Chains A and B, each alone.
Chain A
């Protein structure tokens, strides 16, 4: 589903910083993978390239055999809305929107039918265990609950791939487990492809594969046995 070929990223500046030095690997459809590595290894940079919120200096990214590095900025914006979902480290919700509004907002921007996206948003909130709290504003929700709203929002347009950038970094262990269980459930039940950056070794048990990044290079790909779902 995702094919990465020799991906490089150098940030310009007085002293250019090379974050990725040529990374290649593949993610199969329905796979739940973790990108791991030390702080500064380049794992978040890699996720940003895959998620089309940054452009690589060199290399190719194919999603469903289409070279997405060739897309213009406007096309990338549309592609992100239509085919990709994001969960950020901090609970990146819009504070003026209720939980329900946060969830259906990408569908509204997409131009879907209002009644349908509201129904779907409520279903997703129910899926993440927050159906009863759809009218609450982010400041009325806990960190874990906000992150679950963010996950529901990421799923509203039925993305091909769900990207998560250290989604449990700011959560307590209980909330972290709820979130990761939720990812696993989505992956198992909806066959949702998930690419997650994490630095927690114990998160390995939720994923099919770990891509280890070190100093901007692929260190190894590690198959895990934690996630028993079939690809």
Chain B
């Protein structure tokens, strides 16, 4: 304890009487390194979060229930009204919707001259009033209107499939507009003609065509069934895993997936963001370590003679090294504190008051940190500060007393 007090006294006096400009520079560099690490990781986490939220909002919702796969694969979830009512009774379940998934090809003759363009794709049938409670797809509409429950002869298509809306798809219909007639040939051979009621912005890379569930049932000759049931839950009431478990208990024959399974195709993108965040973090810590190391080393070399004298009068080497470690930790503490203030008290409120739009304005950029991430970032800087203070001090302090004093 007394050794610590002695080391603290040396460190305190060295900081107090040391060069103010050097102190400021060191703390400023550490602040920049820490801020850089926090800012980049916060932005990348925010982008990841926004992407996942957008996918949940426009595509997968929280849970997706599929028909029975084992022991016998079934095409439909039967009695979907009853199944959904049962699921809706689980506390925290906000809403459900059903999807029919059909395959077909869309054909359009823009100039009515027999020059048809056709596109194959998935056609989804849903109940629009239910759909709007679960997904916010209607927000992507850029022309016309969304479907209503009673629509049987109208469709909504993506801008990329329609063509001429700026988005690029492998094939398009050559420029279909709201009000144009499009013929769909379903995979079961049924052929019907629809009027384009709405065109949506496929910013999320979703190129499906939508019809009402009523129309889908007519095409498929089924009733009260579904290929998928999407479930929206309240994240604050329960965890997604808990909802999944409860639904599986209720419907053991159905296949239940949560949004993480559904968005697995985006996993590599999200992993890439994580990797970038990690690399930036490591570089920031290395920059901080080298900065502290160099400045402490130069400082210790300049005080080599003083260190030798301290040793000569009987001051333990460990006290001298600890004094440098404490100085280094002080610089780190100041740099990290400034970084924390800048991120959490300046930048985050600034992004809330002046949002930066993401995904064509569907989401705003936010900085996201997990408590573990924050603790790890601070801890990594503290460890860096400790090592970068200890190593150069040890290199100088271990020198022979006579060499240290007289060179």
Contacts and interface: CB of A to CB of B under 8 A. Distances in A.
Contacts of A74: 316
A106 interface: yes
Given A84-B314, A101-B13, A54 B6 contact: no
A108 interface: yes
B9 interface: yes
B17 A95 contact: yes
Nearest to A154: B313
A97 B13 CA distance: 7
Interface stretch (B43-51, B133-141, B304-312): B304-312
A109 B315 contact: yes
Contacts of B309: 88, 92, 94
A111 interface: yes
B262 interface: no
A106 B18 CA distance: 21
A43 interface: no
B14 interface: yes
Contact of B402 (A54, A82, A97, A111): A54
Contact of A53 (B2, B6, B312): B312
B402 A53 contact: yes
B307 to A, nearest CB: 10
Contact of A153 (B9, B17, B313, B401): B313
Nearest to B316: A77
B315 A81 contact: yes
A153 B405 CA distance: 18
Contacts of B16: 96
Interface in B306-349: 306, 309-317, 319
A102 B2 CA distance: 17
B5 interface: yes
Contacts of B17: 95-96, 137
A108 B323 CA distance: 14
A78 to B, nearest CB: 7
A94 B5 contact: no
B14 A96 contact: yes
Nearest to A157: B314
A80 interface: yes
Contact of A81 (B9, B18, B314, B401): B314
Contacts of A199: none
Interface in A70-129: 74, 77-82, 84-86, 88, 92, 94-97, 101, 105-106, 108-109, 111
A48 interface: yes
Nearest to A92: B309
B19 to A, nearest CB: 11
A106 B2 contact: no
A17 B401 CA distance: 18
Nearest to A112: B2
Contacts of A96: 13-14, 16-18
B223 to A, nearest CB: 88
A86 B3 CA distance: 21
Nearest to A80: B314
Interface residues of B, number: 26
A225 to B, nearest CB: 33
A220 B246 CA distance: 100
B6 A108 contact: yes
Contacts of B313: 80-81, 85-86, 106, 153-154
Interface in B368-407: 401-402, 405
A108 B310 CA distance: 13
Interface in B1-35: 2-3, 5-6, 9-10, 13-14, 16-18
A126 B107 CA distance: 106
Contacts of B18: 96
A77 B314 contact: yes
Contact of A109 (B305, B312, B314): B314
A15 B83 CA distance: 95
Contacts of B9: 105, 108
Nearest to B14: A96
B402 A77 contact: no
B306 A77 contact: no
Nearest to A90: B305
Nearest to B3: A109
A79 B316 CA distance: 11
Which of B6, B17, B310, B312 has the most C-beta atoms of chain A within 10 angstroms of its own C-beta?
B312
Which of B310, B314, B402 has the most C-beta atoms of chain A within 10 angstroms of its own C-beta?
B314
A82 B94 CA distance: 77
Contacts of A109: 2-3, 6, 314-316, 319
Contacts of B13: 94, 96-97, 101
Given A81-B315, A108-B9, A94 B310 contact: yes
Given A88-B309, A96-B17, A108 B314 contact: no
14 contacts: A53-B401, A54-B401, A54-B402, A77-B317, A81-B314, A85-B313, A86-B313, A88-B312, A92-B405, A96-B16, A106-B313, A106-B315, A109-B3, A109-B6
Interface of B: 2-3, 5-6, 9-10, 13-14, 16-18, 305-306, 309-317, 319, 401-402, 405
Given A88-B309, A95-B17, A111-B2, 15 more contacts: A48-B402, A53-B311, A53-B401, A54-B401, A77-B316, A78-B314, A85-B313, A86-B312, A92-B305, A94-B310, A96-B14, A101-B13, A105-B6, A105-B9, A137-B17
